[in-house]
Amino acid sequence: MSQSYSNHARFVPPYHFVAGPILLLNFGWQIYRLVKTPSADTTISLLLSIALLIMFLLGRFFALTVQDRVIRLEMRVRMASVLPPDLRQRIPEFTRDQLVAMRFAGDAELPDLARKVLTEKINNRKAIKLMVKDWQADELRA
């Protein structure tokens, strides 16, 4: 199946559908245990389950932040070779959200899309992605 806006979100089954639910189930179980039999042991178990959930969420957040930084750099390099001179000078004006969303646009449509995004000050990732006509798949995302 080819990638498009409607199916570009990435789910990693072991992460999203196994580890996440197990950690949530464990968190709920630890709350139940603490309510039923409060003790130092059940308190520590609940705190540990909270720490595991935080690690789970931050691990994803950190990976996506690094991915966005790489995309920002990649897009700046790409735009320097694709955009006309007047827009090339304005590359530093693009926000991270704009650059990340425009990465799906093909080289042919990127100049017009970039001009529209800057002119209309569109910063919403979803709105920008929906404007892409020639969707370029990104199979290497986190």
Q: What is the pLDDT of residues 20-52, one digit of tens each?
A: 999 999 999 999 999 999 999 999 999 999 999
Say what the pLDDT of residue 109 is.
Answer: 97
What is the sign of the dihedral through the CA atoms of 7, 114, 125 and 80?
positive
0.85 surpassed by pTM = no
Q: Torsion angle, CA of 24/26/27/33, rounded to 10 degrees? A: 150
Structural tokens at position 108: 């042919």
Q: 4-15 b/e with 16+ CB inside 10 Å = b?
A: eeeeeeeeeeee
d(CA 40, CA 115): 60
- CA-to-CA distance for 21 and 66, rounded, in angstroms? 25
The reported pLDDT for the residue numbered 12 is: 83
Least confident of 44-53, 61-70, 133-142: 133-142
Summarize the confidence of residues 77-102 as an average pLDDT. 97
- 135 SS3 class: strand
